[in-house]
Structure 1
Amino acid sequence: MLTQLGIFLRKLRLDHGEIMKEMAKKLDVSSSFLSAVENGKKKMPDSWYEIIVNLYSLDQEQQDKLKKSIEESQKSIEINLNDLNSKKRNLVFSFARELDNLNEEEVDKMNLFLKKDGE
């Protein structure tokens, strides 16, 4: 099943008249790896964002759509806690533990507090 990122990449390819093999070559990966990224079986390498922006000369709107599709397609995130003091670390862990317990209203309030679009 295609992820939001997969949909974005496929549309980008088609808009540029490319097949998967051509995009994979530009990204220096195999077609099967690119397919696995599109289908959510593999994580997109972090380096791809800048590469895709530059290869396809994405405007700001397209860059925003790419970022959002990456976020929506992620199954997990990694947070580096090395530079956080114990208070901030505890906040991160508390948030992660309680995330499943938040209702939609609480999520909306958190997004408003963090000034980030929820959906």
Structure 2
Amino acid sequence: MLSSLGKYLRTLRIQRNELLKDMAEKLTLAPAYLSSIENGKRTPTKKLIDTIIRVYEIDEKEKENIEEAYMLSVEEMHIDMKDANDEQRSLGVAFARKFNNLSEDQINKIKKALGEGDC
């Protein structure tokens, strides 16, 4: 099953008239590894996403799209709290604690408050 990132990469390849082996070569990856990323069997590193952006000269709008596809494909996320104040830290901890038990209504309210989605 293709992941969001897999769909993005496959579309990018097709738009550039490249075979999987061509893209793998440009990114200095084994074709089997790239195929496993496209098929949602492996999750790439953020470093690989940055390499794709650089090698394919992805513009700002497309950069947002590939980063969104990457974020939808990962199983874990890290929140940088280096510069966060106590309120922000408290919110991050509360969100992480409750994340897996949020109802659809709660999710929609949070997305609306953040200005995300079609809510």
Alignment of 1:1-119 (within 5 A): 1-79=1-79, 91-117=91-117
Aligned residues: 119
Change (3 A) 1:76 1:118: farther
Supply the AA of the counterpart residue of 1:5: L
Which segments of 5 or more consecutive residues in structure 2 lack a partner in the other structure?
Answer: none
In structure 1, C-alpha distance between the alignment counterparts of 2:30 and 2:118, rounded to whole Å: 34
Change (3 A) 1:8 1:41: same
How far residue 83 of structure 1 moved from its aligned partner, in angstroms, is 7.6
- The TM-score with structure 2 as length reference comes to 0.78
Change (3 A) 1:89 1:118: farther
How far residue 76 of structure 1 moved from its aligned partner, in angstroms, is 2.0
Deviation by residue 1:89-117 (Cα, 9 ceiling, x = unmatched)? 65434322312222222112212333333
Q: Is the 8 A contact 2:27 2:55 kept in 1?
A: no
In structure 1, C-alpha distance between the alignment counterparts of 2:16 and 2:41, rounded to whole Å: 25
In structure 2, C-alpha distance between the alignment counterparts of 1:37 and 1:65, rounded to whole Å: 17
In structure 2, C-alpha distance between the alignment counterparts of 1:90 and 1:62, rounded to whole Å: 33
How far residue 78 of structure 1 moved from its aligned partner, in angstroms, is 3.6
In structure 2, C-alpha distance between the alignment counterparts of 1:104 and 1:51, rounded to whole Å: 35
Supply the AA of the counterpart residue of 1:20: L
> Percentage identity across aligned positions?
31
Deviation by residue 1:33-59 (Cα, 9 ceiling, x = unmatched)? 111212222221211222222222222
How far residue 3 of structure 1 moved from its aligned partner, in angstroms, is 0.6
Supply the AA of the counterpart residue of 1:30: A
SS at match of 2:10: helix
Task: Kindly report the root-mean-square deviation, in angstroms, between the aligned alpha carbons of the 2 structures.
Answer: 2.5
